[in-house]
Structure 1
Amino acid sequence: MTTATRDPAGLTARLAELAPGLRVESGPGATGAYAYDASNYRVPPRAVVFPRTADDVVAVLRACRETGVPVTARGGGTSMAGNAVGPGAVLDFSRYMNRILDIDTQARTARVEAGVVLDALRGATALHGLDFGPDPSSHSRCTLGGMIGNDACGNRSVRDGRTSGHVVALEIVTADGVRAVADHSGLHPVDPADDGLVARLEADLKRLVEDNLAPIRTELGRIPRQVSGYQLHHLLPENGFGLARALVGTEGTCAVVTAATVRLVATAQASTLLTLGYDDVVEAAEDVPEILRFAPSAVEGMDEAIVATMRARRGADSVTGLPEGRAWLYVELEGDDQSVVDARAAELLDALKAQGRLTGGRVVGSPAERRSLWRVREDGAGLAARLVDGGESWPGWEDAAVAPEDLAGYLRDFRKLLVSHQLTGVLYGHFGAGCVHVRIDFDTATDTGRTVMRRFVTEAAALVVEHGGTLSGEHGDGRARSELLQVMYSHRMIAAFAAFKRVFDPDGLLNPGVIIDPAPLDSDFALRELPLLDTTFGFPHDEDGFAGAVRRCVGVGRCRSDAGGVMCPSYRATGEENDSTRGRARMLQEMVRGEAVTDGWRSTEVRDALDLCLSCKACSSDCPVGVDMATYKAEFLHQHYKGRLRPRSHYSLGWLPLTSALAGFVARPVNLVLRGPVGKLLARLGGVTTRRRIPAFTSRRALRRTLRAAKPSGPAKAILFVDSFTRAFRPQIAGAASRVLADAGIPCTPQDGLCCGLTWVSTGQLSTARRIMARTVAALDNGDERPIIVAEPSCAAALRRDVPELLGTEAAQRVADRVRTFTGALTDLADQNWTPPPLPENVVLQTHCHEYATFKGHRPADLLRRLGVRAVDEAEGCCGLAGNFGFEARHYDTSIAVADLALKPRLDELGGRPVVADGFSCATQIDHLAGDRGIRARHLAELLDPAADQPGETT
């Protein structure tokens, strides 16, 4: 390694000369998140570069060649084989080089930059009835450049094959900084001055192929999913010297792809999905050859562990439509006519029943069920990583493939191999293409565990070769399998691969350690044994406490999606890796590791990475492995500021329950002061933005009047917990909730004067939060077993989740188990004969993030539809205010940017529909965005209030 590699100053200085304004970042705060992808490996880069144009890439490669700094190209960072980490400069194409340059509907092609996310391309082409065929499960965040690097496939590879089959041309930059275009006929320079260089490169390649015709023809291209090594057979004379296809799957080791022209396919007009149940995955694999006779577009398999984990994490109704069994196949059939497709599906089902292996099978007609089922399969890697029983599993041998007709035999032998090494694997994958993904309970943190892993994968490589298969079927060889290529290929073929690499990259600067001159497969592992940290939260679901909790992030990157689910609002607003749940988790892992980030809880780099986390808790539900960044942030802030002065907003907003209670005694003069110049001064002093109106406090008199009216005349079946926000700012909600619950057969006793401690948790003042929570638990755990109904979703979530995890007592858990949201109470406890008052046909709904994340199966949207609201237009995502976050001066712009993603567009197109938002933050944000237009959010209780036409309480 050169001096320049150890110290990037030389590279940075040279880049400033060659490409002024190019964004280059170094230091642990900038590079920590880029030391990882979705694999087992950690390779800290020396700098991260964010190119905007191909000329920027040219400058980077020329500067890196001059200074001897290696280069690794990176897209979404979702590689499971360690393809996207490297020791020198990492090029992040996803940040800026993510444009769709052209869509040619006549030629059915698209030209895209390397950082374009697959779903963005598919969304644009769908408008023309076109699609890009390969569809990896990471389609919501993987980039076309990454797919080209790995030769990715996906769920429908039975029909669409690999990415290489859809590439028309690649725009590349060579290791010495030459721009060229590779297509089906060779290589063409962008600058005519480079004709000589390109001609010599082509001549070297043709000579290489001529010298190795026999091994290329006999060892490559044997089965559909043979991705391992280089695809030199595309350069054979009979294949027309297809250099573009030969460069697909080279994992950034030969050239850097900046853009590509890809072939599109027509969108199917009709489709259906069958779910098939089996006793185990081998039985399922036995049926694959029969299924393939019916020309399916997808044949996907998975075992019971993934389904059980999904149901545990997201609720029993998160997986519906599966027949009985312990393993399942999804079979999708497509065509031009729905009746013909349905007939084929029925015929296939009959044929499989005749085979006698099915435990059940059905056609899934509901679009909602289909989406639910595909989500289970697409989240397979994450769900398998941290199972419902707490077990962890890892990649490393997750991508082998055989011919589909050999799949059952391979799986049978593979499971025997697992047993012989006392390992357990969670299986899923593309059974129709013979490609099996498996995550295994390797122990890569200890010498003994690493020895077991090395022995296992070496024997597994021999096994898959014995079955005529390939080490990699779509993920690439990376750092996980490159060392094993010698098991699969002859010495002559390995030498040909090395010669191919040298033609393009004679100095070995591009993604070193991958495919050619590979690093040992058990080097640079991210996991190691770590000491237990003394924390305030208990982290009861993680064996190693805080270290085990942050280790949940395995890098699959669902938090980098632009749509679907709620996480991660700050990433969606900024597009920065460090503002994603994954980026923050990786920085926390760096902190726990203590190498690059050396100052532990005092780290300013980690503090800055966590700064824009809205503590929305959506990741605790949407993340396949259950990362809970809100809790990690609270713990970090507690430790970071222990014994030190905090940001001013932690005092002004964190202690809001106390100050608002005091303000209630003198509400009128306080409100007058806060609306004037003194109020703005106080806001500035408290770190609060002056660009929002501070909500008016409620007088104690109005609160007492409301609570007196809320008391039931007869026996109460539940407790109505009057939270701090309801008590201080909108007591009318308590009144409305009490009337609705009584009308629904759930009369409640109002409970005032208690607090869930939420604001102290979100600002990391956990010692105070524990004292507040302990008082609340003592008051509520008094032998009363009635449900505790909370109108404010964030407070309900704190009582349900934060209180037992912070206190760790049986009493806290008993209280938590009794907590219901207003929606949950009406869903579970209302009289069956209850009829609400007439409701509007259409509403716009903003669901509180904490309710979404914590109370699975009790969504306000579902309740509204059940009660007769025909259309619920849900603003999917965070409102952007998120408690104290959006009131803090330094976060105002991000708060509004998050609101612009989903909520504000709904408000701008309201058309007279009522807006429903139970959360105080959500309602406050709506008032800020649209209050001047007379738009006010209504709590669900107000919408269902039988006395809605009567004068409400005043504040």
Structure 2
Amino acid sequence: MRFDRGSLALYANDASNFRQVPIGVVIPKTLDDVVAAHRVCSSFQAPVLSRGGGTSLSGETVNYAVVLDHSKYLTGIGEVDVAAKTVLCENGVINEDLNRETGKHGLVFGPDPSSHSRCTIGGNVGNNSCGIHSVQAQLYGPGPRTSDNVEALEVVTYDGERFWVGVGEEQHLGEIIAAGGRKGEIYAKLRDLRDRYADRIRNGFPSVTEVPRRVSGYNLDELLPEKGFNVARALVGTEGTCVTVLRAELKLTPAMLHRTTVVVGYDELPHAADETGEIVEKWRPIGLEVLDRQLIDDQQELAINTGDLDQLPHRDGQAWLLVQFGADTPGDSERQARKFVDWLIHRKRYGQDRVLISRSVEEGGSSEHLWTIRESGLGATAFTRGRDHWPGWEDSAVPPSRTGDYVRALRGLMDSHGLNGAMYGHLAQGCIHSRIDFDLRTREGVLAYRRFMEDAADLVTSYGGSLSGEHGDGQQRAELLDKQYGAELVQAMREFKLIWDPGARMNPGKVVDAYRLDENLKLGPGYNPPRPETAFAYQKDGGDFAHATLRCVGVGKCRVPHAEQTMCPSFQVTREEKHTTRGRARLLFEMLQGEVITDGWQSREVADALDLCLACKGCTNDCPVNVDMPTYKAEFRHHHYRSWRRWRSRHAYAFGFIDQAARLAVRVPELVNAVTQTPGLARLAKLAAGIDRKRPLPEFAPMTLQEWFTRRGGTKNPHGRPVVLFPDTFNNHLHTDVGVACVEAIEAAGWRVIMPEGHLCCGRPLYDYGFLTAAERYLRRVLDGLREYVREDIPVVGMEPSCLAVFKDELPKMLPHDDDARRLVKNAYHFAEFFTAFDVPPPRVTGRALLWGHCHHRATGGLDPEQHLLERAGLEVEKLTGGCCGLAGSWGFESGKYDISLGCGEQALLPAVRNADEDTLIVANGFSCKTQIADAGTGRTALHTGQVLAGRGGPKPAPPLRRRIARTVLPVTAAALAGAAGLRALRR
């Protein structure tokens, strides 16, 4: 039970336009906890809101209530009944996790929204979700909506009564009522309600065949005698306003996991919409979605899914249909797809240039990548064309036969209101998504937003459609339900709610008796947060840090609990909202708002949430709106510690200025290593530097890379084409053998290696601890050292991915108007990127390799060049993706972080290394990645790409030990090094 300011701030927002600060937050560990929480709230008459992934777009998952977050612990999945095609699960189970389990038996839960990788079954039930494959569920299973796929629900009422409700209970209705109790009382009132409104319900509720995506309002038609008095299905889509669902028995659909996608290009979207009915009827695909030109242009502007966008046929078209065929046996889906293509070409007379066939992974293809274009829609359309785009009318649905005309009319309505937004979505079932550039910051803008919403509601109802096609009503569209159903049926819905919740304390103000669509706005005419001076430029946000904190749109991709992507490593271990990119961004937003979090840059709540941010940069690549949490973290810490009253922790000085400590250590590396590798002394050194006692300390190299390079006489190719090899702190002072190998690998191709002299450091660790004033000095020193080279367009190659990433990422944010900085950005290359960009031939290497990419490498170039280079060299490469090694520079060294650090590594990297064959090379360029592999007891040593190309590592130079000892003060310990670095920082 959490009533702290940080928790209130975290749960004040979802993915909608609305913001409501809750009373408190409860994270139940068991279903009994959920029941107990309801009873406590009931005794105090406190409102209750149940929440899963918090990705709702209509405001139904924020409220002035006690929020119950079911997603962390309530994730149990029961046995799959293959014969009955059903499964029982708890409400916090993630949609995709459920389908992974049922998929083992050739069955899936049909509704799978684009947020399927993180949304919960409880959320599916609450919203009556549909999803990309709801057409599969309609054609081959029970039906398109979650309500069609529910067999029974275990529920708890506001006052804590717990019981099961089912479907087809009409014939047992008398027995249930006679049994009495709370359930009998409710069923009796539901029967009376049904009987009073039966004729009106029959006339006012279109069938699922007429409007497959009718999810607005309550499903009162499920109570009709001819339907069977399906109480469970009537409760689906009530958005937590009647009961809280504990468990669900779900109906399953044949999985059809062998899939082939046909992409068809059209000159206009309405033309594509006109043909969907015939395609569905004749060819029975399992998925049929549309993309419009604006969505494609938006993704190209943001440079996301670029490789997938290049595959689209009819490149000058205005719309594309993604038509997916599925089968349970290999080859069948592709045969269906090819027959469909033949039909398009010969019957419809489409040219081959308008059609693309792409197979699924199971059949040696990658059609799933094409679907990422569609699933990226919501985030990709949020901040483009210099405008902010918002939900509101993102979910309307009409009879599929009328979709083409509706799309034309909707586009005309948007034009008449001066609004713009991409269109995409579920054409097979008449549902259109659009994120629109509403002005939600001015009084006139909000009034215009209301006028459009009212006109759009009139438009969709004139087509016999539904205000919502899967996102629900919440607060966004509930006020307009009279237009769809009329006042009498809305009154019936009100009575339905009060039967379950007489005091109207379950998620009040949503669906019925709702808040207005223009109140509780996150922005609104009064939005005017402070605009503090910042160290970074925030060019994508117009230099506005407040807009940067607003960038998160709440889709929750950072909540994916498995290592399918890099972000968010700490969430993958803790499953806590505050350890997501979304949670941290929302806390920073609230910090500027100043209502819940009132102490600004000094906020302890924000500091705590950022403490477990690994600054892995995963969000800069994986987040659909490119929330840049490492930059926000550095900015916050910069301001947080500027007050004289705040001191950074010991490890901040020890690691932030590791380059300075390394400069001292390499004068007597043997002595320092003796201290750091001797148990008793090592423990004291760790204590002094704030290092976790479980973490082994790295050893310093006996000679720096720069010294080795000088002692051997410089470059071996004096007449070759020049290239600068940047001597980063890690490979200069700790892993010199890596640096030697990189020099030799480049020289083997005939290039002349330039090794900058003197002390140069990119300052990578400084950002993690907010030493941004010092970081800027480090960057200017680097520019001084490299200026003559970058002005001649000589490539600068980085061996350590995190250091090279500073040049690609932090440098232009810190010095946006420095021409030499821009030149360095242009000429900076990761090691393998240099080989591929300049077509440098690698030496021949044979064998197999497991390739792991440093997180900063993935975010600033990706691993494709690395894989390409190693394959050119002759290796068979398996590229391992997802998660983070968990060390993340110095983060995993910090006291108290060791267990979480290893937990991050166990998500993907460490198990893969342990399972790799002994003769498989482990390739990892990052210092932290290699260190984690060594520290975690895998028994393997990771190699840098340069070491692989140079024959598994270069020579380790021997130092002139006596001369070093003679010229250096002997009693130097690791604690003194850390202290010296700290004192230097303080003086600065």
Secondary structure at the residue paired with 2:226? Answer: helix
Bigger shift: residues 340-349 or 212-221:
340-349
Pick closer, same or farther for the CA change 1:865–1:189 going to 2, 3 Å: farther
Answer whether contact 2:24 2:65 (CA < 8 A) is retained: yes
Structure 2 partner of 1:561 = 560
Secondary structure at the aligned position of 1:870 is classed as: strand
Partners of 2:947 and 2:831 in 1: how far apart?
A: 12
What is residue 966 of structure 2 aligned with on the other side?
A: none
- The one-letter code of the counterpart of 2:534 is T
Q: Which residue of structure 2 aligns with residue 641 of structure 1?
A: 641
- The answer as to whether partners of 1:303 and 1:427 remain within 8 angstroms in 2 is yes
Aligned residue in 2 for 1:349? 341
Q: 8 Å contact 1:25–1:48 — kept in the other structure?
A: yes
- Hey, what does 1:370 align to over in structure 2? 367
* Structure 1 residues 451 and 857: alpha-carbon distance in aligned structure 2, compared to 1, 3 A threshold: farther
Asked if 1:274 is matched to 2:280, the reply is: no
User: Given the two structures, how large is their TM-score scaled by the length of structure 2?
Assistant: 0.90
Alignment of 1:278-317 (within 5 A): 278-293=266-281, 294-311=283-300, 312-314=302-304, 316-317=306-307
Shift in Å at residue 291 of structure 1? Answer: 1.6
- Provide Cα deviations, 1:662-685, integer angstroms capped at 9, x if missing partner: 221222222222223333213212
The aligned residue for residue 657 of structure 2 is: 655
- 1:90-122 deviation line (CA, Å, top 9, x unaligned): 111101111113322232211100000011111
The AA in structure 2 aligned to 1:829 is F
- Extract unaligned runs of 5+ from structure 1: 1-23
Amino acid at match of 2:203: T
TM-superposed deviation, 1:230: 0.6
SS where residue 440 of structure 1 aligns? coil
Question: Separation in 2 of the partners of 1:954 and 1:859?
Answer: 34
> How many residues in Structure 1 have an aligned counterpart in Structure 2?
925
Counterpart among 712, 724, 730 of residue 725 in structure 1: 730
Alpha-carbon distance in 2 for matches of 1:499, 1:751: 78
Out of 367, 392, 395, the residue aligned to residue 391 of structure 2 is: 395
Deviation at 1:170, TM superposition (A): 0.3
**Is 1:270–1:337's contact at 8 Å kept on the other side of the alignment?**
yes
2:974 matched to which residue of 1? none
Alignment-mate amino acid for residue 785 of structure 1: D
Which residue pairs with 2:535 in the alignment? 536
Q: Which moved more, 1:777-786 or 1:154-163?
A: 777-786
Matched, 1:814 2:823: yes
Deviation at 1:484, TM superposition (A): 0.7
| Alignment equivalent of 2:400, drawn from 401, 404, 412 | 404
CA deviations 1:475-528 (Å, max 9, x no partner) are: 100110000101111111111111111111110001111111000101111122
- Aligned residue for 1:257, secondary structure, equals strand
Measured in 2, the distance between the counterparts of 1:134 and 1:416 equals: 31
2:215 corresponds to which residue?
227
Q: Against the structure 1 CA distance between its residues 696 and 337, is the aligned structure 2 distance closer, same or farther, given a 3 Å change threshold?
A: closer
Taking structure 1 as reference, are residues 103 and 806 closer, same or farther at Cα in structure 2, changes over 3 Å only?
same
Contact 2:947 2:953 in 1 (8 A): no
Name the CA shift for 1:391/1:718 in 2 (closer, same or farther; >3 Å): farther
User: What letter corresponds to residue 354 of structure 2 in structure 1?
Assistant: G
Q: Work out whether residues 579 and 612 of structure 1, in 8 Å CA contact, stay in contact via their aligned partners in 2.
A: yes
Contact 1:275–1:328 under 8 Å retained in 2:
yes
Q: What whole-Å deviation, never above 9, does each CA across 1:742-790 have from its counterpart, x for those lacking one?
A: 3335442122432111111111100000011011123223322111110
SS of the equivalent of 1:674 reads: helix
Q: Distance in 2 between matches of 1:724 and 1:172?
A: 59
Equivalent pair of 1:849/1:878 in contact (CA under 8 Å): yes
Q: Distance in 2 between matches of 1:950 and 1:699?
A: 14
Aligned partner of residue 625 in structure 1, secondary structure: coil
Distance 2:830 2:237 in 1: 50
Structure 1 CA distance, aligned partners of 2:97 and 2:178?
A: 36
Paired letter, 1:380:
G
- Structure 2 counterpart of 1:198: 183
> Which has the higher mean CA deviation after the structures are superposed, 233-242 or 738-747?
738-747
Measure how far apart 1:309 and its partner are. Answer: 4.0
Task: Please state how far the C-alpha of 1:532 moved relative to its aligned partner.
Answer: 2.0
Q: Does 1:319 align with 2:331?
A: no
Task: Verify the 8 A CA contact 1:118 1:142 in the aligned structure 2.
Answer: yes
Residues 707, 735 of structure 1: 8 Å contact kept: no
Q: How far has the Cα of 1:948 moved from its partner?
A: 4.7
Distance 1:39 1:190, change over 3 A: farther
Instruction: For residue 343 of structure 1, report the CA deviation from its aligned partner.
Output: 4.3
Task: Tell me whether 740-749 or 200-209 shows the greater mean CA deviation.
Answer: 740-749
Aligned pairs for 1:380-459 within 5 A: 380-387=377-384, 389-459=385-455
95-104 or 36-45, larger mean C-alpha shift: 95-104
Q: Which amino acid aligns with 2:775?
A: A
Larger CA deviation: 345-354 vs 554-563? 345-354
Of stretches 883-892 and 612-621 in structure 1, the one that deviates more from structure 2 is 883-892
- Contact 2:177–2:183 (Cα < 8 Å) also in 1: no
Q: Please say which of residues 431-440 and 803-812 is displaced more in the overlay.
A: 803-812
Say if 2:123 is the partner of 1:170. Answer: no
The whole-number CA distance in structure 2 between the counterparts of 1:863 and 1:598 is: 52
Matches within 5 A, 1:134-213: 134-160=111-137, 161-186=144-169, 195-213=180-198
Tell me the amino acid that sits aligned with residue 600 of structure 2.
G
Work out the CA distance in 1 between the residues paired with 2:305 and 2:233.
44
Q: Report the Cα distance in structure 1 between the residues aligned to 2:297 and 2:874, rounded to whole angstroms.
A: 32
Aligned to 2:584: 584
Distance 1:545 1:519 in 2: 31
Contact 1:732 1:954 survives alignment (8 Å): no
Equivalent residues of 2:561, 2:575 under 8 A apart: no
Q: 1:891 to 1:44 in 2, by over 3 A?
A: same
Amino acid at match of 1:531: P
State whether residues 310 and 318 of structure 1, in contact with CA within 8 Å, keep that contact through their aligned partners in structure 2: no
The verdict on how the C-alpha distance between 1:720 and 1:28 changes in structure 2, with shifts beyond 3 A counting, is: same
Indicate conservation of the 8 Å contact 1:321/1:364, yes or no: no
Aligned counterpart, 1:549: 548
TM-superposition CA deviations, 1:244-300 (whole Å, max 9, x none):
111111111111100001111222164321011123322321221232231111111
- Of 215, 228, 237, the match for 2:225: 237
How far residue 648 of structure 1 moved from its aligned partner, in angstroms, is 1.2
2:189 and 2:393 mapped to 1: Cα distance? Answer: 35
Distance 1:688 1:944 in 2: 34
Which residue identity lines up with residue 553 of structure 1 in the other structure?
Answer: C
1:622-633 equivalences under 5 Å are 622-633=622-633
Once residues 949 and 937 of structure 1 are traced to their aligned partners in structure 2, the CA distance between those partners, rounded to angstroms, is 11
94-103 or 737-746, larger mean C-alpha shift: 737-746
Moved more, 315-324 or 818-827: 315-324
Q: From the superposition, tell whether residues 408 and 757 of structure 1 become closer, same or farther in structure 2 (CA, over 3 Å).
A: same
Contact 2:737 2:955 in 1 (8 A): no
Question: TM-score of the superposition, structure 1-length normalised?
Answer: 0.93
CA offsets 1:844-875 (integer angstroms, 9 cap, x no match): 22210000011146453344344432241515
Which region of structure 1 is more displaced relative to structure 2, 46-55 or 169-178?
46-55
Aligned to 2:675: 673
Aligned-residue offset at 1:321: 2.3
Provide the rounded CA distance (Å) in 2 between the counterparts of 1:811 and 1:306: 35
In the alignment, does 2:522 pair up with 1:526? Answer: yes
Question: C-alpha separation between the residues in 1 aligned to 2:627 and 2:108?
Answer: 32
What letter corresponds to residue 205 of structure 1 in structure 2? L
| Offset, 1:694 | 1.6
CA contact (8 A) 2:741 2:954 kept: no
* 1:642–1:491 CA distance, 2 compared to 1 (3 A): same
SS in 2 for 1:478: coil
Contact (CA 8 Å) 1:290, 1:352: kept in 2 or not?
no
Matched, 1:929 2:936: yes
Partner residue, 2:698: 695
Corresponding residue for residue 504 of structure 1: 500
Q: Which amino acid aligns with 2:306?
A: A
Which one is further off, 263-272 or 396-405?
263-272
The residue that corresponds to 2:971 in the other structure is: none
User: Contact 2:706/2:727 (CA < 8 Å) preserved in 1?
Assistant: no
Matched, 1:791 2:799: yes
CA distance in 1, matches of 2:270, 2:36: 52
**How many Å separate the matches in 1 of 2:953 and 2:506?**
71
Offset from partner CA, 1:414-449 (integer Å, 9 cap, x none): 111111111111111111111011000112122222
